[in-house]
Chain A
Amino acid sequence: DTAVSQTPKYLVTQMGNDKSIKCEQNLGHDTMYWYKQDSKKFLKIMFSYNNKELIINETVPNRFSPKSPDKAHLNLHINSLELGDSAVYFCASSLWTAIPETQYFGPGTRLLVL
């Protein structure tokens, strides 16, 4: 049973297209995250939702729009894809308690924009 799953695992698309990545977790967590990992392996938080409420919104182009229909799902829609969007996108989840908790990561979605 996969704890945090993402679809698709690979995405190859043309510049200018619109695409979505989906994430689901079955850990009963209430907080979910989107990270971007660039070609140099640097990881950066993009968004975070706690109980469907957006709580972290880093400096990310407006072309990126997250949506959390419920606590177990967090999707990422990207409009007008650009070459620089090519990266690995990771979804993660954790519990929100009085102290920070371990984050669990999905397998990543490898996006290549041509």
Chain B
Amino acid sequence: GIQVEQSPPDLILQEGANSTLRCNFSDSVNNLQWFHQNPWGQLINLFYIPSGTKQNGRLSATTVATERYSLLYISSSQTTDSGVYFCAVGRAGNNRKLIWGLGTSLAVNP
């Protein structure tokens, strides 16, 4: 089955710093979503981005489907950005099943 690898596994930032999180996947996908799990456990969808670039405030994401990777950019990080960031992918004809990466655990210190 498709493999999803996220890097780095852990990241510590000072407030105000920028960061890039990466998601590599082993096969073509028609579905790629980035999620943030906050320290209270809530999973929030950040982007649905099987290809191209999207921006939402201080966050942006780019997926290069032909090269099988996606990047999540966090600019001017805030303590509320702390948590785990997951990348999840899905393939066509797979009943919308998402395969999840292991996540990047981000801690933003004040």
Partner of A105, one of B42, B84, B96: B42
Chain A residues within 8 Å of chain B by Cβ, number: 26
Given A41-B102, A43-B86, A100-B90, residue A94 in contact with residue B42 (CB < 8 A): no
Complex interface residues of chain B between 63 and 110 (CB less than 8 A to chain A): 84, 86, 88, 90, 95-98, 100, 102-103, 105
Please, how many angstroms separate the alpha-carbon atoms of A69 and B105 in the complex?
Answer: 37
CA distance A21 to B15 in the complex (A): 39
Closest to A9 in B: B41
* B100 proximity list for chain A (CB < 8 A): 42-44
Q: Which residue of A lies closest to B84 (CB)?
A: A41
A66 to chain B, nearest CB (A): 14
By secondary structure, the A interface counts as: strand
Question: What chain A residues lie within 8 Å of B48 (beta carbons)?
Answer: 100-102
List residues of chain B with CB within 8 A of the CB of A102.
33, 45, 48
Q: Is A12 an interface residue (CB 8 A)?
A: no
> Which residues in B have some Cβ–Cβ distance to A below 8 Å?
30-31, 33, 35, 37, 41-45, 48, 50, 84, 86, 88, 90, 95-98, 100, 102-103, 105
A and B contact pairs by CB, cutoff 8 A, 19 listed: A41-B84, A41-B103, A41-B105, A50-B95, A56-B96, A94-B96, A96-B96, A99-B31, A100-B30, A100-B31, A100-B48, A101-B48, A102-B33, A102-B48, A103-B45, A105-B44, A107-B42, A108-B43, A110-B41
